[in-house]
Amino acid sequence: MTGMTPFWEGLERGAFVVQRCRECGTFRFPARARCLSCGSSDADWQEASTAGTVYSTTTVNRAVFPDIPPPYDVVVCQMEIGITFFARAENTLPIGSRADLRMVREADSGFIPFFVAADRDPADAL
């Protein structure tokens, strides 16, 4: 399976599900037909660690989604599992800080990934 369907299905139930190589254990995001580490095409999907370190941050000042009024922050994190992932974030995450990816329930769109400072309750961040 090379599509991202398991990732999206994971989000629908509030889980962070990432493709992982069965041969060497390397996580792949986005999903790929072959592992970039060992070349294997054998992979499955696993619920993964949500811990990461902020690599880059930006503030969005123009409305992109009608339900999310600007300004809001988006950060790119180097995840503990070895992938890079970006998502909306609380506005107090400086580069180099530890972050945790939480699945936050939005009114009509299920769960969305949202970075908070490590050890922070996401209910306090929105």
Rounded CA separation 123/64 (Å): 23
Rounded CA separation 80/106 (Å): 26
**From candidates 21, 79, 93, 101, binder to Zn ion by CB under 5 A:** 21
User: Counting beta carbons within 10 angstroms of the beta carbon of residue 37, is it exposed (0 to 12), middle (13 to 18) or buried (19 or more)?
Assistant: middle
What tokens were used for 86? Answer: 């970006």
Closest separation in Å from C-beta 76 to Zn ion: 24
Asked if residue 82 lies in contact with residue 70, where contact means CB atoms within 8 angstroms, the answer is: no
Q: Which is nearer to Zn ion, 20 or 88 (CB)?
A: 20
**From candidates 1, 38, 63, 68, binder to Zn ion by CB under 5 A:** 38
Closest separation in Å from C-beta 120 to Zn ion: 33
Stretch that binds Zn ion, among 3-11, 18-26, 98-106, 108-116 (CB under 5 A): 18-26
User: What would the x/- binding string for Zn ion be over residues 40 to 79, using CB under 5 A?
Assistant: x---------------------------------------
Where along the sequence are the contacts to Zn ion (CB under 5 A)?
21, 23-24, 26, 35, 37-38, 40
